[in-house]
Amino acid sequence: MIYNEAEAGKRLDKWISESFEGISRSMAASLIEAGNCTVNNVIIAKNYKLKTGDEVSLIIPNAKPVGIIPEEMPIEIIYEDDDLLVVNKPRGVVVHPAHGNESGTLVNFLMHHCGDSLSGINGEIRPGIVHRIDKKTSGLLLVAKNDFTHTRLAEQLKNRSVTREYQAVVSGVVKESGTVNAPIGRHKIRRKEMAVNGLNPREAVTHYEVMKNYENATHLRIRLETGRTHQIRVHMAYIGRAVLGDEVYGNGKPKWLEGQCLHANKLGFTHPRTEKYMEFESELPEYFLKLLGQLRER
């Protein structure tokens, strides 16, 4: 891969983690330190600052098994072939196992469903989660079964050629469709939260379209141009129209809602193997329709 002029001076480990969405910065640093990355055919340090025209070569070693217990779960598979899956994640399901959520996650399900057909892009044998959605957000997720697919899908995300559309119900009346272009970083005080112009902010662009106005709420169609953590929730709160049910960035919710009213309903991408564009949609879930049914029309 030839390094481009636009980001000259960026650290090698940081650039790798940003170029391949499935590789974290710590994983990038480990690969560099293990000699699996060269610049102009020379093994280099992780803090090397790239120059225009540098040729970067990255080798992903064979993955190691991880101690994640495969679990059978009632998760809908929208599409599957030898290279990838599109799944419809229910609200309340965490994507990756973590402290407090060691089981019942999407990865536990994929370990059961995929068997030995797993991506190892993160250095461990596990399904290749190419992008994520929050625990309390429902909808479509793209999963890579092998490193070839994972790498190329991550490149599409970086190049912003993946279609990711959501539907949401937000507080207040949004009179016109529009765009929020405001960088997002880690909150300077509450480190589990994100914020516009937070620590180390990165470009974040969200497009929204008014579908229907209600008395004190608006049904929106939202398209992501970038994919920062909590992007839609942060941007909607930033313009004073927080997603209904958002307990972190919003104010109040119906007691039964148990999470933000946000659903990833459309996903489109170019298949890495066939090079054909594919697009999938999922219907609005029951909780979303129930909320719409309770709102008063203007």
Give Cα 246 to chain centroid, integer Å. 18
Helices of type H across the chain? 12-19, 25-33, 106-114, 147-158, 231-238, 286-294
Separation between Cα atoms, residue 191 and residue 199, nearest integer Å: 9
What's the CA gap between 242 and 249, in Å, rounded?
Answer: 7
Query: How, if at all, do strands 84-89 and 56-58 pair?
Result: unpaired
Instruction: Judge contact between 157 and 21, C-beta under 8 A.
Output: yes
Annotated active-site residue in 13, 54, 83, 134: 134
> Is there a contact between 270 and 161 (Cβ–Cβ < 8 Å)?
yes
Is 13 considered catalytic here? no
SS (H, E, C) 120-138: CCCCEECCEECCCCCCCCE
How far the first Cα of the chain sits from its last, in Å, is: 54
Note whether 86 and 140 are within 8 A (CB): yes
Catalytic residues: 134
